[in-house]
Amino acid sequence: MSRRATWALRVVGIAAVVSVAATVWLGLWITPPDKVQGNFVRLVYVHPALAWVSLYLAFGIAALGSVLWLWPRTRSPLWDRVAASAVEVGTVFTGLTIVTGSIWGRTTWGVWWAWDARLTSTALLFVLLLGYLALRRVPADYEARARRCAVAALIAAIDVPIVHFSVQWWNTLHQNATVLNSNLSPTIHGSMAWTLLLGFVSFTLVFVWMFAMRLRIEKLSDRAADFELEDAIHERWAEGTLEELGEEQGEEQKVEVRS
């Protein structure tokens, strides 16, 4: 990694920590309780931001990386690594979206879980992401694994618009979009709106840092695998040379015995 990239990653990491700390401070201590939800509204500063990262950011990058890998003109190992990194980090964020949503649901709806369209489609997405990660671990040659995973990511990507529009297509327990609604008139204001916005920025920064770190790990893993392959070939080569040497010595001994 170049010195400039390391420096940039460090800056993003520090900015992420500072902005998350500010979100927590504003969310838990500064913003007022909601008229209807009371203090439980504080979970809203975390939950939608996590959902934004998992659904749109991570999945957008994973789908784009997969398409670019499948397209013969743009095919490059980089796109496979990009998709794999985005999916792994996205899986963590999707899991947290479900957990924080479940806690919020318990306080607001009175249940931890409901088979509501938004919740079910998000759970399906989480399972599809786990499937992608499992598929990546199936032993195969590099090309086959990358192709398989790219197709799996694109199949899973079909679920993203379903998750997004589920609250409009079906009668759901989950509320409609508060900020990005169809009229584009946010029904939230003041310190709550700013804290929500800061939450989106801070979790985006956390994602960027994690994604860059994961991408680096993917590249290093490939290099380590190359070294392992090199070692294995050397071992086989050495074994072959020893066998040949043994055969030659055997032949020489036979000749000596005959003479």
Partner 1 sequence: MRSRRSRCDLELRASVRVFQLAFGVGVSYVDAGYAVALGTLALYAGWLWQRRARLEKLVEREKERPDQGELRVESDR
Which residues are near partner 1 by CB under 8 A?
Answer: 20, 24, 27-28, 39-40, 42-43, 46-47, 50, 77, 92, 95-96, 99-100, 103-104, 106-107, 142, 206, 209-210, 213-214, 216-217, 220-224, 226-227, 229-230, 233-234, 237
Closer residue to partner 1 in complex, CB, 132/207: 207
d(Cα 203, Cα 46) in Å, to the nearest integer? 8
Closer residue to partner 1 in complex, CB, 110/190: 110
Least distance in angstroms from the C-beta of 1 to partner 1: 9
Least distance in angstroms from the C-beta of 84 to partner 1: 12
d(Cα 75, Cα 79) in Å, to the nearest integer? 7
Q: Specify whether the backbone of 184 is left (phi greater than 0), alpha (psi in -120 to 50) or beta.
A: left
Query: What type of residue sits at position 115?
Result: W
Least distance in angstroms from the C-beta of 226 to partner 1: 5
Contacts of 66 (CB under 8 A, 6+ apart): 79, 83, 149, 150, 151, 153, 154, 157
Closer residue to partner 1 in complex, CB, 142/169: 142
CA nearest neighbour of 210 among 126, 63, 89? 89
Closer residue to partner 1 in complex, CB, 9/64: 9
SS3 38: strand
Least distance in angstroms from the C-beta of 123 to partner 1: 17
